[in-house]
Amino acid sequence: MDTRNQMKAKVLAASVAAALSQMAGTAFADSSVGQDTVMSSALNRRPINTSTAGGSTDPEGMGTREPAARTPSGQMYDMPIAETEEINKTDGGWEYFGHVEAGVVGIDGDRKRQGFNRYKDVENGLYLNNFGVTMNKRDSANFFEATGGAVGNDDEFYSLKFGRYNDWMVKGFYNETPHVFTTTFRSIYNGLGSGNLTLKPGLTPGGTASVAADNLAVAAVANANSNTELGLVRKKGGARFDMNLTNEWKFFASYTNEKREGKRPFGSVWGGGGGSNPVETVEPIDYRSHDFIAGLQYNDDLNSLNLQLSGSWFRNDIDTLTFQDPYRQAAANGIAAGGFTQGRFDLYPDNDYYNAKGEYARSLPDFYKGRFTAVAAFASSRQDDKLIPYTTIPGVDLTNVAGAAENWDNTRSLSKRSAGAQIDTSLLDLGLSLNPTDDLNLKGKLRYYETKNKTDYLACNPSASYTDNDPYTAGAQAGGLSAYGCTGVWGRLTNDGSGSAVVTGATAAATALLLANGAAGNQNIRNIPFDYKKLNFVIGGDYRLNKYSSVNAAYERENIERDHRERDKTWEDKLKLGYVNRGLEDATLRLSYEHQDRRGDTYHVHSPYEEFYSGHLIPMPTAVVGATTTPTLTSWVVHMNSRTRKYDLADRKNDTLNARLNYMVRADLDMGVTGQYKNTTYPDSDYGRVEKQRASSLNFDANYQPSAERSFYGFYTYSDAKMEQQGTPSGAAAGRNCNLFAAGGPATVSAAELLCADPNSGMVFQAANFWTVTHRDQNDTLGLGWKEAFGEIRLDMNYSFSQGKTDINYNLPANLAAANRLLAGKGMPELKTTQHIFEANVLVPVNKTVSTRFMVRHEVGKINDWHYLGFDTTPVSGNPAALPTAVILDAGPQDYTTSIIGVMVNFKL
């Protein structure tokens, strides 16, 4: 994690945030707007409640209900904690109380392992666990409350609110959240967290003449710099102001500012499209987000109105990541071996977001006691970052492209200098609810949501031209090939020039080769502006059978139109039935069943992308070249296996059954059982997600509260999910191909479009070599808790256990080599995560204002993840004498055992 900040600086920052809050504003708890709904930390998992901090359960409970009343669904309420009686008063009429809990924490074991500290920060030493102060001036109804916790740590938090009850309120907060990605990274770079990664001493940018030596050097440097932590800390502050303008009108406005700083594992790759020599790098995180929301709310007897404007501005203070390459890439595109010394990423660009939303509801008491709602929202996401050149390496010179004018290392090679990306969204939601009788409610809803992608980018180098003379690219046109308003060289230089996906054409002498090889593959020539329109309409009814039970039913139709996807349209019917009975003698039962059936129009594998690939520029061959060359059509007609159905577009049937029973076993004991069963099928999918996908879970919970002094709870959840997929590798069957007019190939172009991508034809894929994978996730989660008061001493113990297992089993493809078949076995090693957490707290009151809390927390985590097998010894995998298969600097997640003990003293003011 990043450097630990000075406590004083953090407190100062919190104070600034608090001060800002006095200028901006907010307050009333609002679960519909914004995030930041909790101020707490790993050792204060509940927000600080100043009224009850350091207190014990009130032996009188809630009074007339013994031991505790139940919610309308039949769950026991908690026994209340006795609120503080130590209320002070100033001469000015302010009543106040407060507390501070501080002490010493000792932590032992694997406290630096990611499994333990992923979202928390606990260190040895003095620990200001939490504090709070509450003030109230009764005669003016003014109040003030401030809380905080984990002071000085990376998960610290502070909140402040003040105002006048039923009138106005200001809220401010400052909250930090750590997020550790790995603690086992072995860095070979200097400059982690910056936009410039340079190799540590001992490594050579661009590699040496000996790959074997480079491999040894990378491993040695990496292992000498092990256990580096990569993570980030979110630091967010904000303020909100709420005010009741009149009895009907309310106003609110809020502003938040979040800084994210740190670094995370990243990748890098060289060469052409498939990629070679992947070496892990480190992405810097230096983000800032500003979010502003303001709204007006109106309510009277008949009408409700919400108007809201919001804006969000994301800024990345590091635009690019330049990294040095420790390996020698092959010569390419005019650059000699060893010339690719560095690469450059364009990191997440700055973006702006605006949203205007209006919501209106009107009661229609004279029209079947109805209610009408209307929501309209318009939003726009915009991004106009300056674009960077394809490479930082000068002198890249592509075959058949005019070298002096190519300029791949500066922005003259781009069709535009900034992104100019924009997606607009709009929402219209109309609803009508009628109550023709007191027992019957009918509702209808119409919802339209649309995204419009206005981004237009051409992969066209306008300052380059072709030098060849073939008719399929530039021909004799000195300015290059013209399309979509740009004249130049099309395609893109990949991976800093170590590869290319450029429509390079061919010399006249090589024209036949071009036709035979399909111009080295179909290449992106412009962006694909994905967007969609979604229309939902719903009708439903809810009928009360008697005072305590009801049935409900709803039918929904969802139509989606997508641009540039394999299906233009999908439509889904959803039928839901529900039953609620709150009147069973000692129980509440809720049941629901939903059936969904999604279908769509013709599934096109290839054609949706045609206009975005070079097949649009270079006409598909339709004749034999010369006397004998039969051109391959693969680039033009094969995007992927045509029997694949992407699961977000595929025909799908889904049945979901939910059941929930709350049962009051005795006056002091209640139990709950919930279950869910989901069954999904993909009836038209031969490849991709296929067959059935099932998920089920069963949950039990119990809550026993025999008295205010004693309570127990327990829960157990079992879940089981299974999913299947199928694929087949590319590779033609013997005697089959996608060469026009060739033996075993398509006889016509139109036949090629139908046959080449079909695995049943064997021309590019062959069905006989199919493979299947079955995924099975099983999880067990157990929780137990015991609270007991031994006189004045209070014990609170909790234990949780969770275990997740994923078995990935497969059937091998028929063409897998015998030796590989033997070693591949029947599946991947089990993915397994286990965690035990035990926590005990003993609260010992010393007097009315002082209590002591003894705390023990013990965590054990174990993890097996085959992705990282072997990387615990060396980050370099592959042939020791060749460019490595992969350099994975992250050694992966580790087992851990960690114990925390603490002694805290709670002082009441």
Please report, as residue ranges, which positions from 847 to 886 form the binding site for another protein (by CB under 8 A): 863, 865-871, 877-880, 885-886
- The verdict on 186 binding another protein (CB under 8 A) reads no
DSSP codes joined into one string, 18-80: HHHHHHS---S--TTS-S-----BTTB-S---TTTTT--B-TTTTSSSSS--B-TTSPBPPPP
Residue 683's identity, in one-letter code, is P
Within 10 Å of residue 501's Cβ, how many Cβ atoms?
Answer: 21
Q: How many whole angstroms separate alpha carbon 831 and alpha carbon 776?
A: 10
CB of 680 to another protein, least distance (A): 12
- Binds another protein (CB under 8 A): choice among 5, 11, 58, 516: 58
Element (H, E) at 309: strand 303-316
CB of 447 to another protein, least distance (A): 7
Q: How many whole angstroms separate alpha carbon 702 and alpha carbon 719?
A: 18
Q: How many whole angstroms separate alpha carbon 539 and alpha carbon 555?
A: 5
Interaction mask 422-461, another protein, x per CB under 8 A = xx-x-x-x-x-x--xxxxxxxxxx-xxx-x-x-x-x-x--
CB of 36 to another protein, least distance (A): 7
- The verdict on 400 binding another protein (CB under 8 A) reads no
- CA distances (Å), origin 781, targets 86, 450, 684, 698, 778: 41, 40, 36, 11, 10
Residues of this chain, 280-309, that bind another protein according to CB under 8 A: 280, 283, 287, 289, 291, 297-299, 304-306
Q: How many whole angstroms separate alpha carbon 637 and alpha carbon 761?
A: 14
Instruction: Identify the residue whose tokens are 């009836």.
Output: 683
Contact 493, 270 (CB under 8 A): no
Within 10 Å of residue 459's Cβ, how many Cβ atoms?
Answer: 24
CB of 509 to another protein, least distance (A): 28
- Binds another protein (CB under 8 A): choice among 103, 106, 205, 349: 349
- Binds another protein (CB under 8 A): choice among 127, 131, 158, 353: 353
Beta-sheet strand order (sheet of 196-199) = 189-190, 196-199, 320-324, 342-346
Residues of this chain, 706-765, that bind another protein according to CB under 8 A: 715, 717, 719, 723, 725, 727-730, 764-765
CB of 331 to another protein, least distance (A): 19
Q: Which stretch binds another protein (CB under 8 A): 17-25, 191-199, 697-705, 784-792?
A: 697-705
- The verdict on 494 binding another protein (CB under 8 A) reads yes
- Binds another protein (CB under 8 A): choice among 5, 674, 679, 681: 674
CB of 599 to another protein, least distance (A): 9
Respond yes or no on whether the N-terminal peptide bond of residue 67 is cis (omega within 30° of 0).
Answer: yes
- Rg value, the chain, Cα: 33
Of the two residues 280 and 470, which places its CB atom closer to another protein in the complex? 280
Of the two residues 164 and 694, which places its CB atom closer to another protein in the complex? 164
- CA distances (Å), origin 85, targets 78, 220, 747, 848: 20, 64, 92, 9
DSSP state of 586: T
Of the two residues 321 and 470, which places its CB atom closer to another protein in the complex? 321
- The verdict on 405 binding another protein (CB under 8 A) reads no
Both tokens of 417, joined, read: 């200098």
- Binds another protein (CB under 8 A): choice among 26, 40, 329, 407: 40
Residues of this chain, 569-608, that bind another protein according to CB under 8 A: 569, 571, 573, 578, 580, 582, 588, 590, 592
- The verdict on 147 binding another protein (CB under 8 A) reads yes
Residues of this chain, 767-806, that bind another protein according to CB under 8 A: 771, 773, 775, 777, 779, 781, 783, 800, 802, 804-806
- Binds another protein (CB under 8 A): choice among 808, 901, 905, 909: 808
CB of 43 to another protein, least distance (A): 8
Contact 625, 576 (CB under 8 A): no
CB of 116 to another protein, least distance (A): 11
Burial of 634 (0-12, 13-18, 19+ CB in 10 A): buried
Of the two residues 163 and 339, which places its CB atom closer to another protein in the complex? 163
Spatial CB neighbours of 404, under 8 Å, sequence gap ≥ 6 = none
Size of the site for another protein (CB under 8 A): 255
CB of 297 to another protein, least distance (A): 5
- The verdict on 639 binding another protein (CB under 8 A) reads yes
Best CA proximity match to 594, nearest among 653, 641, 665, 531: 653
- Binds another protein (CB under 8 A): choice among 714, 785, 827, 845: 827
- The verdict on 467 binding another protein (CB under 8 A) reads no
- The verdict on 677 binding another protein (CB under 8 A) reads no
CB of 369 to another protein, least distance (A): 10
Residues of this chain, 509-548, that bind another protein according to CB under 8 A: 524, 527-533, 535, 539-544, 547
Q: Which stretch binds another protein (CB under 8 A): 204-212, 387-395, 744-752, 849-857?
A: 387-395
- The verdict on 138 binding another protein (CB under 8 A) reads yes
DSSP codes joined into one string, 795-825: EEEEEEEEEEEEEEEEE--TTS-HHHHHHHT
DSSP state of 767: G
Residues of this chain, 195-234, that bind another protein according to CB under 8 A: none
CB of 780 to another protein, least distance (A): 8
DSSP codes joined into one string, 488-515: EEEEEEEGGGTEEEE-----GGGHHHHH
Q: Which stretch binds another protein (CB under 8 A): 221-229, 338-346, 399-407, 511-519?
A: 338-346
- The verdict on 89 binding another protein (CB under 8 A) reads no
Q: Which stretch binds another protein (CB under 8 A): 174-182, 216-224, 476-484, 622-630?
A: 174-182
- Binds another protein (CB under 8 A): choice among 199, 253, 638, 763: 638
Cα dihedral 344/346/347/350 (nearest 10):
150
DSSP state of 752: H
- The verdict on 120 binding another protein (CB under 8 A) reads yes
Residues of this chain, 364-383, that bind another protein according to CB under 8 A: 371, 373, 375, 377, 379, 381-383
Both tokens of 663, joined, read: 């049962």
Within 10 Å of residue 687's Cβ, how many Cβ atoms?
Answer: 21
Q: Which stretch binds another protein (CB under 8 A): 141-149, 183-191, 192-200, 482-490?
A: 141-149
CB of 867 to another protein, least distance (A): 6
Contact 120, 177 (CB under 8 A): no
- The verdict on 647 binding another protein (CB under 8 A) reads yes
- Binds another protein (CB under 8 A): choice among 21, 26, 44, 766: 44
- The verdict on 348 binding another protein (CB under 8 A) reads yes
Element (H, E) at 11: helix 7-23
CB of 510 to another protein, least distance (A): 23
Interaction mask 244-273, another protein, x per CB under 8 A = ---x--x--------------xxxxx---x
CB of 201 to another protein, least distance (A): 25
How crowded is the C-beta side of 469, counted as CA atoms within 13 Å? 2
Both tokens of 713, joined, read: 């709870």
Strands 644-645 and 687-707: parallel
Buried b (16+ CB within 10 A) or exposed e, 870-890: ebeebbbeeeeeebbeebbbb
- Binds another protein (CB under 8 A): choice among 4, 89, 557, 692: 557
Element (H, E) at 899: strand 896-908
- Binds another protein (CB under 8 A): choice among 152, 389, 621, 631: 389
